[in-house]
């Protein structure tokens, strides 16, 4: 079984791929959605996904793993744990927290862990790459040297150069059709917007999404 097949199986097993009418973080609409939060409770599957990144970056000289809160907290810790096991040396896993202005910051002294270190950044789903780029830029500002980005799914076709890294290690590439709200066939057909995941609530409330 290929790596892509293994990842697809995990996404299916955890019911992470949904069908319906969704509003993405880009404000566009679509009929498929990756509910990343559905994966996190499954420790065996998370370990399996993170071990894939650990294997790919084991020979890179990685010294610390960083992820954006919230989901990246789990991913950074699990990936660092797998690297520690493989390399037989301590690899810390830390995270960056969101700030009130939409950015990220290292709190709790976590910035000290990345200063002068080779850093692997991990994220769940790439759509535009905007959020993780903020974490990448923050890590660079804190003195960390980015060796790459590991993501579960790249669903926006994001390129390494778009976010300032040399390598994106996407476990799976998924291309979902995204429609502008005014052209959305789901809206025209009266299919209700899902308000449990994505930005559906904001859309229905008429609030700005991006």
List the CATH number of the domain containing 64.
3.40.50.2020
pLDDT of residue 18: 96
The count of structural domains within the chain is 1
**113 falls within a domain:** yes
**209 falls within a domain:** no
Token pair belonging to 185: 């066939």
Question: DSSP string spanning 88-103?
Answer: TS---EEEEEE-TTS-
What value does the mean pLDDT take over residues 136-155? Answer: 97
Residue 148, number of CB atoms within 10 A of its CB: 20
Give residue-wise pLDDT tens across range 25-56.
889 999 999 999 999 999 999 999 999 999 99
What value does the mean pLDDT take over residues 58-75? Answer: 97
pLDDT of residue 206: 92
**63 falls within a domain:** yes
Whether the pLDDT of residue 86 is over 80: the answer is: yes
Token pair belonging to 41: 């409770």
How far is C-alpha 139 from the geometric centre of its chain's CA atoms? 16
**179 falls within a domain:** yes
**107 falls within a domain:** yes
Q: Which domain holds residue 85?
A: 3-204
Give residue-wise pLDDT tens across range 89-98.
999 999 999 9
Question: DSSP string spanning 60-129?
Answer: TT--EEEEETTHHHHHHHHHHHHHHHHHTS---EEEEEE-TTS-EE--TTTHHHHTTSEEEEEEEEESSS
Give residue-wise pLDDT tens across range 154-187.
998 999 999 999 999 999 999 889 999 999 999 9
**210 falls within a domain:** no
**192 falls within a domain:** yes
**68 falls within a domain:** yes
What is the pTM assigned to this prediction?
0.92
What value does the mean pLDDT take over residues 110-136? Answer: 96
């Amino acid at each position: 079984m290929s790596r892509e097949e293994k990842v697809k199986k995990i996404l299916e097993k955890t019911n992470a791929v949904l069908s319906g009418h969704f509003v993405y973080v880009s404000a566009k609409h679509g009929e498929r959605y990756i509910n990343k939060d559905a994966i996190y409770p499954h420790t065996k599957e998370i370990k399996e996904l993170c071990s894939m990144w650990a294997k790919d970056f084991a020979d890179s000289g990685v010294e610390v793993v960083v992820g954006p809160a919230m989901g990246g907290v789990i991913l950074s810790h699990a990936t660092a744990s797998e690297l520690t096991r493989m390399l037989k040396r301590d690899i810390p896993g830390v995270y960056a927290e969101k700030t009130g202005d939409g950015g990220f910051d290292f709190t709790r002294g976590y910035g000290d862990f990345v200063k002068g270190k080779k850093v692997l950044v991990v994220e769940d789903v790439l759509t535009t790459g905007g959020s993780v780029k903020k974490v990448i830029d923050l890590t660079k500002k804190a003195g960390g040297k980015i060796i790459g980005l590991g993501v579960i799914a790249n669903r926006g076709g994001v390129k390494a150069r778009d976010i300032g890294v040399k390598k994106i290690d996407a476990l799976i590439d998924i291309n979902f059709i995204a429609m502008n709200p005014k052209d959305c066939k789901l809206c025209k057909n009266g299919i209700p917007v899902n308000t449990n995941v994505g930005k559906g609530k904001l859309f229905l409330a008429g609030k700005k999404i991006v």
